[in-house]
A and B are shown apart, each in its own frame.
Chain A
Amino acid sequence: MTGKTILELEMIKKTFKNFCLWFSILAVAGCGATQFASGIPESFAIGPGQKIELPPIENATGKALSFAADQVFNLHMSKLLRERNLESVPPHDTATVILKTKLIEFEQGDAFQRWLLPGLGTTVCTVHAELLDRKTGALIGAIESRQTVSFGGAYSIGAYEYICRRVAEELIQEIDKKLGKKESSG
């Protein structure tokens, strides 16, 4: 074998090792994408003591859900608001804002299909959220979050569940930005 051929073989070996490593990481961790858009004005702020009313998420996918994604979202969103002392309880006297959410896209997906071919069996969850003034019903701003898991193997099993929680976390991160702004700016 010539020196050039040995070099080529070494390079192929190295590339193959890298591929195996990279592929294993992806197969274990799962690979997805996030699309996020927020239309909440900069001037909006949630002051101390103000609460958010969270009506149950509406299924606007146009079909019956194969998994109770709406319930997972509701429970997690409610928990996240409670952790921040923002959750309003009936009769919602202290609530100044309504967080109206709609599940506009949900695909349960399939981990085996994702393992076979990236993109196939993709798990998708899209939520459209609106912040409304509780007194006037006026729209303050809208947020849209889309999460996907399109690649991965056995460890992406159950993605349809954690993806709903991820969407809720992304929405609350946007609300977090609006907390206590009045005190800091004043």
Chain B
Amino acid sequence: MKILAASLGICLLSIIASACSSQAPYIASTYQRTVTTVVEIDTDVPSQVWVADRNIGTTPISFPFSYQEDVNNVVRTANYWETNPGTAAALSVLSFGFYVPFSLIPAEPTTETRPTQKYVGNKLTLRLIAEGHEPLDHVFECTGEPKIVLRLSLARKEREKK
């Protein structure tokens, strides 16, 4: 009984000590994930919407725009108390505390993904064309918004004004 009680005591101490024994996190890799923003365009006059030399329809229109966001894969080496506390406690008790000093060695990699808010291919160039109106070029950048609503107005052609 005394041995078991001592083992449990050591377990508790090791849990407290574990907080100090893990390594500092570092960026192991960076990958890109897809982000989609729904772009809703409305104009004062019905206009054709062109994206990258492709007519996608007439306003009012709504379409998805996809681009990439850099995500960091952050790795930290942790000890077994942090990754598998149940197994570590069981091993410590069953080994009568022999495992405890070894259990504090940070050995197992743990990861966390952190979006960087750095976007790639997020610039959208629109061209709006309406009869009797000057073509309108509109450039904007999406930064992870679920939806962007654009209310645009096209200028009448000089001839038409007269």
**What residues of chain A have their CB less than 8 Å away from a CB belonging to chain B?**
8, 11-12, 15, 18-19, 22-23, 26, 31, 33, 60-63, 100, 102, 104-105, 107, 117-122, 124, 126, 128, 130, 132-133, 136-139, 142, 144, 146, 148, 150-151
Contact = CB atoms under 8 A, between A and B. Distances in A.
Given A62-B29, A119-B79, A151-B84, 9 more contacts: A15-B4, A62-B30, A102-B31, A105-B73, A119-B83, A124-B111, A136-B63, A139-B35, A150-B84
Contacts, number: 102
23 contacts: A12-B3, A18-B94, A31-B84, A62-B30, A104-B31, A104-B73, A104-B113, A105-B111, A107-B109, A117-B105, A118-B91, A119-B80, A119-B105, A124-B109, A126-B73, A126-B111, A130-B33, A133-B64, A136-B63, A137-B66, A138-B36, A139-B66, A148-B108
Contacts of A11: 1, 4
Given A138-B36, A144-B113, A150-B84, A105 B28 contact: yes
A120 B77 CA distance: 10
B125 interface: no
B interface residue count range (under 10 / 10 to 19 / 20 to 34 / 35 or more): 35 or more
B34 interface: yes
Candidate in B32, B78, B94 with the most chain A CB atoms within 10 angstroms:
B94
A151 B80 CA distance: 10
